[in-house]
Amino acid sequence: MSNRRVFEALNWASSFLEENQREAYAAEILLRHYMKMSRAEFLTRLREELPEEIDQLFSKAILTHITGEPIQYIMGYEEFYGRKFKVNKEVLIPRPETEELVLATLERIRARWQDDTGLKVADVGTGSGAIAITLKRENPQLDCFGTDLYPASLEVAKGNGAYLDADINWIVGDLLQPFINSGVKLDVVISNPPYIPTADRSWMSEIVTEHEPNRALFAGEDGLDIYRRLVNELPYVLNEQALVGFEVGAGQGELVANLLKGALPQAQVEVVFDINGKDRMVFAEISS
């Protein structure tokens, strides 16, 4: 019996995924992963026979994804800002919206500081390290910290930092406590904290709720628990001239902006919308 052709395996998997309420496009991403091909190359090889060992790996991955396992955990990585970040069950999978937070932060740093050499930047709740590492790689002048309460998450971040050649100060600790305790002052604080209200769990995809770390997703009844703690700690760590940037859930922009205004009355606070028109970021800027 001859092997399946590439397009036959793809068609089978796409249909099978849709029948099981999964996204059909995951089939192409997984098949390209096992064939180690760019999309352009993949599309020229659709009529070729699929080697049996690749077909077996691919079929097994599709069956695993049907159970709810995210494809990023199956492959072991996710792309973020043009780089591959290793991910596992200890960290949240980086999302495209967070790329917008990084881009907006880099632009604001450029606009606010004529000389950004040695600016101290903390990515609080770093998870996979995607924000801290990307900021450092895009602007090597920055002195970047990545903090996380969970050592297992920080191990993933450290591995990504080494793999992507980014020199980051990794710290195990609760939010801004490590900086408060050591007396270190920060110029920039960035965070994509857990912000989903607990009740939202009931209608969310089990791909997210059953497989990604819940500690990185949920934050109390209104989803604002971590922001409340963060803004209370900010005055103890910020320099006289500073920038704060948070990613927020849709509909939380004004609420988080008000928390920041309360904690930092001298700051200019702005809610920024993402490319999908959702309030996705809140920035506070303090001038000396």
Q: Per the structure block, which two tokens stand in for 178?
A: 């490590």
Mode of pairing for the β-strands spanning 120-124 and 143-148: parallel
Q: Distance (Å, rounded) from C-alpha 88 to C-alpha 92?
A: 8
Q: Strand (E) positions, the chain? A: 77-80, 83-86, 120-124, 143-148, 169-172, 186-191, 238-247, 268-273, 279-286
User: Residue positions in the annotated binding site for S-adenosyl-L-methionine?
Assistant: 125-129, 148, 192
Task: Report the C-alpha gap between 163 and 80 in whole angstroms.
Answer: 14
Annotated binding site: 125-129, 148, 192-195
Tokens representing 33 are 């992963």
Determine the Cα–Cα distance for residues 42 and 32; give it in Å rounded to an integer.
7
- DSSP 8-state assignment for residue 196: B
Q: Annotated binding site for substrate: which residue ranges?
A: 192-195
Amino acid present at 255? L
Query: Taking every pair of C-alpha atoms in the chain, what is the biggest distance, in angstroms?
Result: 74
DSSP state of 93: P
Structure tokens that stand for 36 in this block: 């180690």
CB 70, CB 211: distance < 8 Å: yes
Dig out the tokens for 190 from the structure.
Answer: 């960035």
With contact defined as beta carbons under 8 Å apart, do 191 and 246 qualify?
yes
Three-class secondary structure of residue 246 per DSSP: strand
